[in-house]
């Protein structure tokens, strides 16, 4: 069913026929991997001041010394920063007391979610 | 397909962690580069063709279920039916899926099951094993264009989305990192994204929509969270009322149900890439594998040959079961190997191999890289 296509074009990482074939022996693939590494480094290592989510207590404490970090559902969060999007910790940060927030905004949370894994 | 022992990179932990792959040792050993699988080009071509064909067969099966209204066989609640039909008929796009295949003694790939809703191991298949290849076997090739195809597919899936929200169970590192990887591919496609734990998704009583942590509407939502949990949670009944667009779409509820294996066998009897599967065990006198219609990570699976030979624990099964003819996974030095073959959009995109000491592949089954010659 794919007789008209080269087998290489179907499986190569970039997968776009002739253009890709030219790239096969260049360093483009390494560039892709390095690019991904940079993205992940930015995601998990560097923290802008509005992104207060940390993978470990140690990472959080390094940034926010003196018992300022909160553990919440397996993550660690620094304190709220006033000028960030949300007054309670930024878009990805700890939201404080969700119940009291619900009372003031009419937003209910916690209707999705259970323990364990969602992936398969 | 052969398995060879090789020397792991002395700094492999630093290498993979440098790419953000933190769950490399769950269960003691998850990422295993002290071995690898070697394929021939012909075998890879066959896997590519079979994956494409299975995907088309699955789409036909969805069409069949929707047209005939056979949702009851899959234990899908009645209130979901119209939304599934609307999703299918309007062509809501799918991002990806993973077919779990075994090679039979003749080398023919056969479908064990289809992870159509929340497939994981995508990051290790896409990025980690590619980096391994470039360092260990730079002159060889790998069946792997997952990353590029994901980026390409996001341009279709996220068309018109102001912001795509991404969610997983907040306490699960593996799910979180997988979701973050997928979010990264969406960002590379030019999509504005935001992550929030699924537990923090809010429902606005006044706006009658789902909202994020800043109370802003969620219009497009990637959830690494199973459909069957989504619809049975407290907020599930709000889904039809909201105008939220979901990835995977509603119609994937049909394919993520293991009952699809029996429906595929009905639609394509004796197809060489399928394994005989039924909603009853009575036609499988020579032994079978009993699988819950809804389950994850190899939970509640029993291998029966007159009596139960082996089984795995879990909390699934109340929705019903599917019975699949017992087939032996290819075994290499005591390792039972399953090939996870990725489909992104409508295109086969690559493979990742998982192996286990037992015939049942579980969440801790080892990921072993591959190349082909």
- The pLDDT tens digits for B289-335 are 999 999 877 778 888 888 888 878 788 888 899 999 999 899 999 99
Q: Say whether A13 and B144 touch across the interface (CB within 8 A).
A: yes
Residues B281 and B354 in one domain: no
Quick check: B45 contacting A, CB < 8 Å? yes
Distance CA B198, CA B209 (A): 15
Asked if B238 and B211 touch (Cβ cutoff 8 Å), the reply is: no
Angle in degrees, CA B178, B168, A80, rounded to 5 = 105
Å from B136 to nearest chain A CA? 13
Residues B175 and B309 in one domain: no
Quick check: B15 contacting A, CB < 8 Å? no
For β-strands B347-356 and B366-368, DSSP reports them as: antiparallel
Distance CA B306, CA B370 (A): 37
Q: Say whether B203 and A107 touch across the interface (CB within 8 A).
A: yes
Q: Say whether B203 and A111 touch across the interface (CB within 8 A).
A: yes
Residues B22 and B136 in one domain: yes
- The pLDDT tens digits of the residues spanning B121-146 come to 999 999 999 999 999 999 999 999 99
Q: Indicate if the pLDDT at residue A73 is higher than 70.
A: no
Using a CB-CB cut-off of 8 Å, the residues of chain B touching A12 are 141, 145
Q: Say whether A33 and B296 touch across the interface (CB within 8 A).
A: no
3-state class (DSSP) for residue B19: coil
Using a CB-CB cut-off of 8 Å, the residues of chain A touching B215 are 105, 107
Q: Is the peptide bond before B248 cis (omega within 30 degrees of 0)?
A: yes
Residues B215 and B287 in one domain: no
Q: Give me the DSSP letters along B229-288.
A: HHHHSGGGGGTTTS--EEES-TTHHHHTSTHHHHHHHHHSTT-TTS--EESSSTT-TT-E
Asked if B354 and B337 touch (Cβ cutoff 8 Å), the reply is: yes
Residues B15 and B97 in one domain: yes
Distance CA B18, CA B135 (A): 14
Specify the pLDDT at position B134. Answer: 96
Q: Looking at the partner chain, which of A15, A72, A102 has a beta carbon nearest the beta carbon of B145?
A: A15
Residues 6+ apart with CB under 8 A from B8: B33, B34
Sheet containing A75-77: order of strands: A53-54, A75-77, A70-72
Q: What is the mean pLDDT of residues A57-83?
A: 66
Q: Identify the residue with better confidence: B344 or A116.
A: B344
Quote the mean pLDDT of chain A: 55
Strand partners, B96: B344
Residues B226 and B340 in one domain: yes
Q: Looking at the partner chain, which of A36, A40, A119 has a beta carbon nearest the beta carbon of B174?
A: A119
Strands (E) in B91-171, as ranges, are 96-103, 109-115, 164-168
Residues B148 and B269 in one domain: no
Residues 6+ apart with CB under 8 A from B21: B31, B123, B124, B127, B128, B177
Range of the domain at B118: 2-258+329-372
In this prediction the ipTM stands at 0.86
Number of domains in chain B: 2
Residues B125 and B274 in one domain: no
Q: Give me the DSSP letters along B185-229.
A: HHHHTT--EEE--GGG-EEETTTTEEE-TTS-B--EEEEES-HHH
Using a CB-CB cut-off of 8 Å, the residues of chain A touching B147 are 13, 32, 36
Specify the pLDDT at position B300. Answer: 85
Q: What is the mean pLDDT of residues A38-56?
A: 60
Distance CA B144, CA B351 (A): 6
Quick check: B147 contacting A, CB < 8 Å? yes
- Neighbouring CB atoms inside 10 A of B275's CB total 20
Instruction: Provide the angle, in degrees to the nearest 10, between the axes of the packed helices A28-44 and B173-188.
Output: 120
Angle in degrees, CA A63, A56, A113, rounded to 5 = 120
Residues B317 and B340 in one domain: no
Distance CA B222, CA B246 (A): 6
In which residue ranges of chain B is pLDDT below 50? none
Q: Indicate if the pLDDT at residue A50 is higher than 60.
A: no
- Band (pLDDT 50/70/90 cuts) for residue A6 is very low
CA of B233: which chain A residue's CA is closest?
A112
For β-strands B220-224 and B302-305, DSSP reports them as: unpaired
Q: Say whether A91 and B223 touch across the interface (CB within 8 A).
A: no
Interface test with A, best of B54, B100, B200, B239 (most A CBs within 10 A): B200
State the greatest distance between any 2 C-alpha atoms of chain B, in Å, as a whole number.
61
Distance CA B64, CA B254 (A): 10
Specify the pLDDT at position A80. Answer: 52
Residues B338 and B319 in one domain: no
Q: Say whether A43 and B180 touch across the interface (CB within 8 A).
A: yes
Distance CA A92, CA A100 (A): 18
How far is Cα of residue A115 from the mean position of the Cα atoms in its chain? 20
Asked if B165 and B220 touch (Cβ cutoff 8 Å), the reply is: yes
Specify the pLDDT at position A23. Answer: 35
Q: Indicate if the pLDDT at residue A95 is higher than 60.
A: no
Residues B254 and B267 in one domain: no
Specify the pLDDT at position A43. Answer: 58
Written as six digits, the tokens of B266 are 């009905």
Written as six digits, the tokens of B261 are 């294996």
Residues B104 and B228 in one domain: yes
Distance CA B38, CA B155 (A): 33
Q: What share of chain A has pLDDT > 90, as a percent?
A: 5
Distance CA B11, CA A54 (A): 25
Q: Looking at the partner chain, which of A93, A95, A112 has a beta carbon nearest the beta carbon of B233?
A: A112
């Amino acid at each position: 069913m794919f007789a008209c296509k080269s087998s290489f074009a179907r499986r190569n990482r970039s997968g776009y026929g002739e253009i890709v074939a030219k790239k096969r022996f260049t360093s483009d693939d390494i560039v892709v991997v390095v690019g991904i590494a940079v993205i992940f480094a930015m995601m998990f290592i560097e923290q802008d001041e509005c992104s207060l989510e940390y993978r470990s207590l140690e990472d959080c404490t390094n940034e926010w010394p003196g018992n300022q970090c909160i553990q919440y559902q397996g993550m660690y969060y620094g304190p709220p920063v006033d000028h960030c999007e949300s007054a309670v910790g930024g878009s990805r940060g700890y939201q404080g007391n969700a119940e009291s927030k619900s009372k003031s905004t009419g937003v209910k949370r916690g209707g999705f979610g259970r323990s364990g894994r969602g992936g398969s | 397909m052969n398995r060879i022992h090789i020397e792991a990179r002395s700094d492999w932990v630093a290498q993979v962690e440098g790419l953000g792959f933190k769950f490399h040792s769950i269960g003691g050993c998850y990422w295993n580069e002290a071995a690898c699988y070697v394929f021939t080009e012909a075998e890879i071509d066959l896997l590519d063709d079979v994956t494409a064909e299975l995907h088309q067969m699955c789409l036909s099966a969805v069409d069949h279920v929707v047209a005939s209204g056979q949702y009851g066989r899959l234990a899908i609640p009645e209130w979901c039916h119209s939304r599934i039909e609307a999703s299918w008929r309007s062509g809501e796009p799918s991002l990806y899926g993973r077919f779990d295949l075994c090679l039979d003694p003749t080398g023919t790939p056969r479908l064990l099951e289809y992870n159509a809703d929340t497939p994981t191991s995508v990051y290790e298949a896409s990025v980690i094993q590619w980096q391994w290849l470039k360092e260990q076997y730079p002159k060889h090739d790998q069946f792997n264009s997952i990353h590029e195809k994901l980026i390409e597919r996001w341009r279709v899936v996220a068309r018109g989305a102001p912001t795509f929200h991404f969610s997983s169970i907040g306490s699960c590192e593996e799910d979180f990192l997988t979701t973050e990887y997928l979010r990264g591919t969406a960002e590379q496609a030019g999509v504005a994204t935001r992550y929030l734990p699924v537990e923090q998704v809010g429902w606005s009583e006044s706006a009658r929509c789902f909202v994020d942590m800043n109370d802003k509407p969620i219009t497009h939502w990637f959830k690494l969270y199973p459909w069957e949990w989504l619809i049975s949670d407290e907020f599930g009944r709000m889904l039809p009322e909201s105008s939220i667009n979901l990835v995977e779409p509603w119609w994937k509820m049909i394919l993520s149900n293991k009952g699809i294996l029996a429906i595929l066998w009905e639609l394509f009897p004796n197809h060489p890439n399928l394994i005989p599967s039924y909603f009853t065990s009575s036609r499988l006198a020579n032994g079978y594998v009993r699988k819950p219609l809804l389950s994850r990570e190899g939970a509640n699976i029993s291998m029966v040959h007159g009596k139960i030979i082996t089984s795995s624990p879990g909390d699934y099964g109340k929705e019903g079961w599917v019975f699949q003819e017992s087939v032996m996974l290819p075994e290499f030095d005591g390792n039972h190997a399953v090939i996870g073959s990725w489909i992104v959009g409508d295109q086969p995109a690559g493979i990742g191999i998982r192996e286990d000491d037992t015939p049942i592949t579980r969440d801790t089954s080892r990921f072993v890289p591959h190349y082909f010659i």
